[in-house]
Amino acid sequence: MTANLLDYDLEGLAAFCERLGEKRFRATQLFRWLHQKGATDFAQMTDLAKSLREKLAGAAHIQGPKVVSRHDSADGTIKWLFDVGAGDVIETVFIPETDRGTLCISSQAGCAVGCRFCSTGHQGFSRNLTTGEIISQLWFAEHFLRQHLGREDRVISNVVMMGMGEPLQNYSQLLPALKVMLDDHGYGLSRRRVTVSTSGVVPMIDRLAKDCPVALAVSLHAPEDTLRDNLVPLNKKYPIAELLQACTRYQSSAPRDFITFEYCMLDGVNDQPEHARQLVSLVQAHAAQGLSCKFNLIPFNPFPASGLKRSDMPQVSAFAKILLDAGIVTTVRKTRGDDIDAACGQLAGDVQDRTGVEQRMAAQRQGMLGGIKVVVAKGMGV
């Protein structure tokens, strides 16, 4: 089995070149061919000595993702399904905007966290993606789009690790992929434009701060632990107070001067004025310790198995107003790619679950019913 060169960051590629008896600087040339020019074949790499190209052909290969299908939304969003073997299919989404092009990348085939409102969570978990499988989503999309749009300059300016999977539960494979994204010989993306989104794997937030601080988004979705335990089960391991302390620590290394909190608006579950007021108190308590944040309210994209409904827009606006009036920067996410199931929380791919997700979800639904009763009672002032 030869090595897939997309599995390496520049350092890893330099070590690989040394193993072939080549000078380390050859790795930089090779890396540029791979990531800046999107080469798929060693024969294209004309500034490398023929002998090296022959050596590479015997010891390595360039394996991009296998495209299952492509879906184009009326709003310009593109979603790809990629086959990663053994019946697992992952999804990648490109979202064009006037001033940027964002790629939403998957880090796992499925996800073991099992958030109630997330289509991926309902699919269960099969396996972690390799570094090559993570970075090749960018490799493929960037070079496809350049060709498709007839452009020579960079098309993708932003990457969000918000596709399928919890990226911080696949840290060892994620880290080299992030380094390739940031490397000037790779994609040269700014740290501020690469976002890792996490449901709150506290020890790995600290690791990321040391190893490769990029922008951080945290899926919060609830202002208190009982409700968050139900919506984001990882909360039982890393409750809100611990999570916000980790965010505060992260901030000293973060490339942006705020952490983004994602908050999916679920009708009658977490969208009441009382919840907004609880969030304000939570944020104010941590602001005193140095936390600075912004909120991104996400209209829920319903899918049948969730049993949940989208909050209506007046509810979302009223919720946003409470946060804004308290001086908290708050935006409401525009939904994109609805018509091709590419919107936030809709990515499901096709995953061979190995974790008994159905039983877990049934148990969560039970717990959730209890949670809703408490919440409604509070909201009604009972």
Q: Would you please indicate which residues are annotated as catalytic (active-site) residues?
A: 91, 344
By beta carbon distance, the residue nearest ligand SF4 is 121
Q: From CA 131, how far away is CA 134, in angstroms rounded?
A: 5
Among 12, 64, 114, 186, binds ligand SF4 (CB under 6 A): 114
The reply to whether 121 sits near ligand SF4 by the rule CB under 6 A is: yes
* Beta-bridge mates of residue 61: 4
Stretch that binds ligand SF4, among 13-21, 75-83, 112-120, 276-284 (CB under 6 A): 112-120
The reply to whether 65 sits near ligand SF4 by the rule CB under 6 A is: no
Q: From CA 114, how far away is CA 357, in angstroms rounded?
A: 8
Among 77, 199, 272, 364, binds ligand SF4 (CB under 6 A): 199
In this structure, what are the phi and psi dihedrals at residue 134, rounded to the nearest 5 degrees?
-75, -55
Contact 267, 315 (CB under 8 A): yes
Restricting to residues 224-253, name those near ligand SF4 by CB under 6 A. none
Q: From CA 202, how far away is CA 301, in angstroms rounded?
A: 27
Contact 265, 300 (CB under 8 A): yes
Minimum distance from residue 29 beta carbon to ligand SF4 (Å): 37
Among 92, 219, 230, 364, binds ligand SF4 (CB under 6 A): 219
Give the count of residues interacting with ligand SF4 (CB under 6 A): 12
Match 């590419």 to its residue by tokens: 342
Residue number with CB closer to ligand SF4 (120 or 173): 120
Among 111, 205, 217, 297, binds ligand SF4 (CB under 6 A): 111
Instruction: Report how far apart, in Å, the C-alpha atoms of 19 and of each of 10, 14, 50 are.
Output: 14, 9, 18
Instruction: Report how far apart, in Å, the C-alpha atoms of 261 and of each of 2, 16, 187, 349 are.
Output: 42, 39, 27, 25
Burial of 334 (0-12, 13-18, 19+ CB in 10 A): exposed
Minimum distance from residue 12 beta carbon to ligand SF4 (Å): 27
The reply to whether 299 sits near ligand SF4 by the rule CB under 6 A is: no
Among 78, 115, 180, 194, binds ligand SF4 (CB under 6 A): 115
Stretch that binds ligand SF4, among 117-125, 142-150, 151-159, 370-378 (CB under 6 A): 117-125
Stretch that binds ligand SF4, among 30-38, 114-122, 139-147, 236-244 (CB under 6 A): 114-122
Residue number with CB closer to ligand SF4 (188 or 307): 307
Structure tokens at 358: 């159905």
Stretch that binds ligand SF4, among 92-100, 116-124, 206-214, 245-253 (CB under 6 A): 116-124
Match 């790779």 to its residue by tokens: 186
Restricting to residues 124-183, name those near ligand SF4 by CB under 6 A. 164-166
Structure tokens at 382: 């009972």
The reply to whether 306 sits near ligand SF4 by the rule CB under 6 A is: no
Instruction: Report how far apart, in Å, the C-alpha atoms of 9 and of each of 20, 179, 188, 222, 279 are.
Output: 17, 6, 13, 37, 40
Q: From CA 255, how far away is CA 221, in angstroms rounded?
A: 24
Cα 212-179-64 angle, rounded to 5 deg: 145
Minimum distance from residue 108 beta carbon to ligand SF4 (Å): 8
Q: Are strands 3-4 and 60-61 parallel, antiparallel or unpaired?
A: parallel
Residue number with CB closer to ligand SF4 (5 or 204): 204
- Residues of this chain that bind ligand SF4 (CB under 6 A): 111, 113-115, 118, 120-121, 164-166, 199, 219
